Amino acid sequence: KIHCAHLLVEKLTVAHDLQTSISKGDSFANLAKEYSLDVSKKRGGDLGFFSRGAMVSEFEKAAFALQKGQVSDIVKTQFGYHIIKRLD
């Protein structure tokens, strides 16, 4: 199991802007609370712990490839554009 947070947005341009903000040191959790489109936004994007098979394949592949503390590139799924951060 891994513990991740994510940002979910509709537009690729917004995802790029958020990725830039994160790279400049802005808080991932604060950005998720402000911009993310799903219910996890209330928790700063925190998805809790999950196992393989719990998420759509594109998301899962990116999440399990991350090291603790690492932030993914933009990941496109049927839900939109994600930026994933592995917490544990």
Cβ-based neighbours of 30, under 8 Å, separated by 6 or more: 44
At 6-21, the pLDDT tens digits run 999 999 999 999 999 9
Q: What is the pLDDT of residue 63?
A: 98
At 65-75, the pLDDT tens digits run 999 999 999 99
Cβ-based neighbours of 13, under 8 Å, separated by 6 or more: none
